[in-house]
A and B are shown apart, each in its own frame.
Chain A
Amino acid sequence: QVHLVESGGGVVQPGRSLRLSCVASGFTFNIYAMFWVRQAPGKGLEWVAVISDDESQKSYADSVRGRFVISRDNSKNTMFLQMNSLRGEDTAVYFCARVMDEEGALDIWGQGTMVTVSS
Protein backbone atom coordinates (compact mmCIF):
# COMPACT_ATOMS: atom_id res chain seq x y z
CA GLN A 1 0.00 0.00 0.00
CA VAL A 2 1.23 3.44 -0.92
CA HIS A 3 1.28 5.73 2.10
CA LEU A 4 2.44 9.17 3.17
CA VAL A 5 2.39 10.01 6.86
CA GLU A 6 3.05 13.49 8.18
CA SER A 7 4.13 14.35 11.71
CA GLY A 8 5.60 17.19 13.71
CA GLY A 9 2.66 19.53 13.91
CA GLY A 10 1.59 21.25 17.09
CA VAL A 11 1.05 24.58 18.80
CA VAL A 12 3.92 27.06 18.54
CA GLN A 13 4.35 30.72 19.42
CA PRO A 14 4.79 33.36 16.73
CA GLY A 15 8.40 33.74 15.70
CA ARG A 16 9.34 30.21 16.71
CA SER A 17 10.25 27.23 14.54
CA LEU A 18 8.81 23.81 13.78
CA ARG A 19 9.93 20.92 11.58
CA LEU A 20 7.44 18.70 9.81
CA SER A 21 8.24 15.23 8.50
CA CYS A 22 6.60 13.13 5.81
CA VAL A 23 7.43 9.43 5.70
CA ALA A 24 6.72 7.52 2.50
CA SER A 25 6.09 3.80 2.11
CA GLY A 26 4.94 1.41 -0.58
CA PHE A 27 6.70 3.10 -3.52
CA THR A 28 10.15 4.09 -4.76
CA PHE A 29 10.44 7.41 -2.97
CA ASN A 30 13.63 8.60 -4.66
CA ILE A 31 12.15 8.88 -8.15
CA TYR A 32 9.32 11.25 -7.25
CA ALA A 33 9.19 14.97 -6.67
CA MET A 34 7.19 15.91 -3.60
CA PHE A 35 4.98 18.82 -2.53
CA TRP A 36 3.90 20.45 0.68
CA VAL A 37 0.39 21.90 0.51
CA ARG A 38 -1.44 23.62 3.35
CA GLN A 39 -5.02 24.42 4.20
CA ALA A 40 -5.95 27.06 6.74
CA PRO A 41 -9.06 26.34 8.83
CA GLY A 42 -12.15 26.64 6.65
CA LYS A 43 -10.10 27.76 3.66
CA GLY A 44 -8.85 26.32 0.40
CA LEU A 45 -5.63 24.61 -0.59
CA GLU A 46 -2.37 26.54 -0.91
CA TRP A 47 0.83 25.22 -2.49
CA VAL A 48 3.77 25.74 -0.13
CA ALA A 49 6.87 24.12 -1.62
CA VAL A 50 8.15 21.48 -4.01
CA ILE A 51 11.35 19.45 -4.09
CA SER A 52 12.72 17.37 -6.95
CA ASP A 53 13.47 13.67 -6.64
CA ASP A 54 17.19 14.24 -6.10
CA GLU A 55 16.80 17.42 -4.02
CA SER A 56 18.56 19.47 -6.72
CA GLN A 57 15.58 21.71 -7.32
CA LYS A 58 13.39 23.43 -4.75
CA SER A 59 10.73 26.07 -5.12
CA TYR A 60 8.59 27.99 -2.65
CA ALA A 61 5.41 30.02 -2.55
CA ASP A 62 5.98 33.74 -2.04
CA SER A 63 4.20 33.52 1.32
CA VAL A 64 6.88 31.25 2.81
CA ARG A 65 10.03 31.94 0.78
CA GLY A 66 12.92 32.86 3.03
CA ARG A 67 11.24 31.36 6.11
CA PHE A 68 10.56 27.73 5.17
CA VAL A 69 13.06 25.16 3.90
CA ILE A 70 12.08 21.94 2.15
CA SER A 71 14.46 18.98 2.18
CA ARG A 72 14.45 15.20 1.90
CA ASP A 73 16.46 12.15 2.95
CA ASN A 74 15.96 9.51 0.30
CA SER A 75 17.82 6.92 2.40
CA LYS A 76 15.02 7.26 4.95
CA ASN A 77 12.12 7.80 2.53
CA THR A 78 11.41 11.04 4.33
CA MET A 79 10.73 14.65 3.37
CA PHE A 80 10.92 17.60 5.73
CA LEU A 81 9.62 21.12 6.02
CA GLN A 82 11.59 23.38 8.34
CA MET A 83 9.36 26.29 9.25
CA ASN A 84 11.03 29.33 10.81
CA SER A 85 9.75 32.73 11.92
CA LEU A 86 6.24 31.34 12.09
CA ARG A 87 3.27 33.70 11.84
CA GLY A 88 -0.39 33.41 12.69
CA GLU A 89 -1.23 33.10 9.02
CA ASP A 90 0.85 29.91 8.85
CA THR A 91 -1.80 28.18 10.96
CA ALA A 92 -3.06 25.32 8.78
CA VAL A 93 -3.17 21.62 8.15
CA TYR A 94 -0.02 20.73 6.24
CA PHE A 95 -0.23 17.92 3.70
CA CYS A 96 2.60 16.23 1.87
CA ALA A 97 1.82 14.87 -1.57
CA ARG A 98 3.53 12.87 -4.31
CA VAL A 99 3.95 14.49 -7.70
CA MET A 100 2.68 12.19 -10.40
CA ASP A 101 3.98 13.99 -13.48
CA GLU A 102 5.81 17.05 -14.77
CA GLU A 103 2.60 19.06 -14.70
CA GLY A 104 2.38 18.77 -10.94
CA ALA A 105 -0.56 16.42 -10.53
CA LEU A 106 -0.62 15.12 -6.97
CA ASP A 107 -1.72 11.51 -6.91
CA ILE A 108 -0.96 10.48 -3.33
CA TRP A 109 -1.62 12.61 -0.23
CA GLY A 110 -0.87 12.19 3.44
CA GLN A 111 -3.51 12.68 6.10
CA GLY A 112 -2.07 16.04 7.16
CA THR A 113 -0.63 17.48 10.35
CA MET A 114 -2.04 20.55 12.09
CA VAL A 115 0.17 23.54 12.85
CA THR A 116 -1.22 26.25 15.10
CA VAL A 117 0.73 29.46 15.56
CA SER A 118 -0.56 31.27 18.61
CA SER A 119 0.72 33.03 21.69
Chain B
Amino acid sequence: EVQLLESGGGLVQPGGSLRLSCAASGFTFSNYAMNWVRQAPGKGLEWVSAITGSGGHTYYAISVRGRFTISRDNSKNTLYLQINSLRAEDTAVYYCAPLGYCAGDTCLDFHSWGQGTLVTVSS
Protein backbone atom coordinates (compact mmCIF):
# COMPACT_ATOMS: atom_id res chain seq x y z
CA GLU B 1 0.00 0.00 0.00
CA VAL B 2 1.40 3.37 -1.02
CA GLN B 3 1.72 5.79 1.88
CA LEU B 4 3.00 9.34 2.07
CA LEU B 5 3.58 10.91 5.48
CA GLU B 6 4.53 14.57 5.68
CA SER B 7 6.03 16.15 8.79
CA GLY B 8 8.04 19.13 9.98
CA GLY B 9 5.50 21.92 9.78
CA GLY B 10 4.82 24.40 12.54
CA LEU B 11 4.54 28.03 13.55
CA VAL B 12 7.49 30.14 12.48
CA GLN B 13 8.21 33.86 12.44
CA PRO B 14 8.66 35.75 9.18
CA GLY B 15 12.19 35.26 7.93
CA GLY B 16 12.49 31.93 9.68
CA SER B 17 13.23 28.47 8.32
CA LEU B 18 11.78 24.98 8.42
CA ARG B 19 12.64 21.59 6.96
CA LEU B 20 9.72 19.49 5.80
CA SER B 21 9.98 15.74 5.32
CA CYS B 22 7.88 13.22 3.44
CA ALA B 23 8.33 9.54 4.24
CA ALA B 24 7.20 7.32 1.38
CA SER B 25 6.43 3.62 1.41
CA GLY B 26 4.75 0.96 -0.70
CA PHE B 27 6.48 1.76 -4.00
CA THR B 28 9.97 1.98 -5.49
CA PHE B 29 10.59 5.53 -4.38
CA SER B 30 13.73 6.11 -6.41
CA ASN B 31 11.88 5.45 -9.68
CA TYR B 32 9.45 8.33 -9.27
CA ALA B 33 9.75 12.07 -9.59
CA MET B 34 8.29 13.71 -6.51
CA ASN B 35 6.72 17.08 -5.86
CA TRP B 36 5.71 19.45 -3.12
CA VAL B 37 2.30 21.07 -3.52
CA ARG B 38 0.81 23.59 -1.11
CA GLN B 39 -2.62 24.90 -0.30
CA ALA B 40 -3.12 28.18 1.49
CA PRO B 41 -6.18 28.42 3.75
CA GLY B 42 -9.33 28.55 1.64
CA LYS B 43 -7.34 28.55 -1.60
CA GLY B 44 -6.55 26.13 -4.41
CA LEU B 45 -3.60 23.83 -5.00
CA GLU B 46 -0.26 25.42 -5.92
CA TRP B 47 2.73 23.45 -7.19
CA VAL B 48 5.92 24.36 -5.32
CA SER B 49 8.78 22.15 -6.44
CA ALA B 50 9.72 18.89 -8.19
CA ILE B 51 12.70 16.55 -8.19
CA THR B 52 13.53 13.68 -10.52
CA GLY B 53 13.81 10.13 -9.23
CA SER B 54 17.59 10.22 -9.08
CA GLY B 55 17.59 13.68 -7.55
CA GLY B 56 19.66 14.99 -10.44
CA HIS B 57 17.19 17.64 -11.57
CA THR B 58 15.10 20.04 -9.54
CA TYR B 59 12.40 22.52 -10.49
CA TYR B 60 10.79 25.40 -8.59
CA ALA B 61 7.81 27.70 -8.86
CA ILE B 62 8.85 31.29 -9.42
CA SER B 63 7.30 32.28 -6.07
CA VAL B 64 9.74 30.13 -4.08
CA ARG B 65 12.85 30.08 -6.26
CA GLY B 66 15.94 30.99 -4.26
CA ARG B 67 14.21 30.41 -0.90
CA PHE B 68 13.15 26.75 -1.08
CA THR B 69 15.35 23.72 -1.73
CA ILE B 70 13.98 20.29 -2.60
CA SER B 71 16.05 17.15 -2.03
CA ARG B 72 15.60 13.43 -1.51
CA ASP B 73 17.36 10.52 0.17
CA ASN B 74 16.45 7.40 -1.79
CA SER B 75 18.16 5.17 0.78
CA LYS B 76 15.62 6.43 3.32
CA ASN B 77 12.67 6.77 0.92
CA THR B 78 12.31 10.34 2.08
CA LEU B 79 11.67 13.65 0.33
CA TYR B 80 12.64 16.98 1.88
CA LEU B 81 11.84 20.65 1.45
CA GLN B 82 14.10 23.22 3.10
CA ILE B 83 12.18 26.45 3.31
CA ASN B 84 14.02 29.67 4.21
CA SER B 85 13.17 33.37 4.41
CA LEU B 86 9.57 32.49 5.16
CA ARG B 87 6.84 35.01 4.37
CA ALA B 88 3.24 35.26 5.50
CA GLU B 89 2.13 34.16 2.04
CA ASP B 90 3.94 30.83 2.52
CA THR B 91 1.35 29.87 5.14
CA ALA B 92 -0.24 26.70 3.80
CA VAL B 93 -0.63 22.96 4.13
CA TYR B 94 2.26 21.35 2.28
CA TYR B 95 1.71 18.00 0.54
CA CYS B 96 4.16 15.68 -1.17
CA ALA B 97 2.95 13.69 -4.19
CA PRO B 98 4.19 11.88 -7.29
CA LEU B 99 2.11 14.08 -9.57
CA GLY B 100 3.14 12.26 -12.74
CA TYR B 101 1.87 9.04 -11.20
CA CYS B 102 3.98 6.91 -13.50
CA ALA B 103 7.62 6.05 -14.14
CA GLY B 104 7.77 5.20 -17.83
CA ASP B 105 5.18 2.51 -18.40
CA THR B 106 4.89 1.62 -14.72
CA CYS B 107 2.18 3.49 -12.89
CA LEU B 108 1.29 3.61 -9.24
CA ASP B 109 -2.09 2.35 -8.16
CA PHE B 110 -3.31 4.45 -5.28
CA HIS B 111 -5.38 7.54 -4.98
CA SER B 112 -4.86 9.11 -1.55
CA TRP B 113 -2.27 11.77 -0.87
CA GLY B 114 -0.83 12.19 2.60
CA GLN B 115 -2.50 14.48 5.10
CA GLY B 116 0.03 17.23 4.60
CA THR B 117 1.89 19.35 7.13
CA LEU B 118 0.79 22.85 8.12
CA VAL B 119 3.25 25.73 7.95
CA THR B 120 2.11 28.93 9.62
CA VAL B 121 4.20 32.05 9.22
CA SER B 122 3.28 34.68 11.77
CA SER B 123 4.87 36.96 14.33
- Do the two shown chains form a genuine complex with each other? no
Residues of A within 8 A of B (CB): none
